[in-house]
Amino acid sequence: MFDDGEFIRGTQVIYVPDHAEGNINHPDCERGIVTAHASYTEIFVRYFYANGDLRTIGNSECTDMGHLIIQDFMDVQAAQDVLFSLGYGVDLRPGYTCHRCGKWIGPPVEEVYCEECMEE
């Protein structure tokens, strides 16, 4: 298992399915950007099509960390621009974010919400 501190919002990753056997050039691998932690073993990621267009426009996909390899595939500023266009601020502190608003709040137990979202 990876150190979850490596996966912070804005981290660029490649999803490698089991059948790709670690080959990051396999056609079924997908590039993405981390948006939040889901749990201690899962990460929320926005994925891109092979042509570079954003595939996961509506929401991030929960992905097991064991299938992710950290690798930059675009300029850091371009990755930040993608996150900002989706309504995410880029907070590079390690930790976890509110599942509703994305505000950084620290390590979770399960789903974690900031105080403002818990009141709703």
pLDDT digits (tens, 9 = 90+) for 46-95: 999 989 899 988 889 999 999 999 999 998 878 878 888 887 765 544 45
Residue 36 pairs in a beta bridge with 44
What pTM was computed for the model?
0.69
CA distance 21 to 82: 29
- The predicted-structure confidence for 56-66, as pLDDT tens digits, reads as follows 888 899 999 99
Please state, in angstroms and rounded to a whole number, the distance separating the CA atoms of residues 114 and 98: 6
pLDDT at residue 92, rounded to an integer: 46
Residue 18: count other Cβ atoms within 10 Å of its Cβ.
9
Range of the domain at 54: 4-118
Tokens of 100: 């509703």
Q: Which two structure tokens, joined as six digits, stand for 80? A: 């930040």
* Spatial CA neighbour of 44 closest among 2, 102, 92: 102
Number of separate domains in the chain: 1
Give 8-17 pLDDT, tens digit per residue.
888 999 999 9
Task: Give dist(CA 105, CA 97) in Å, integer.
Answer: 5
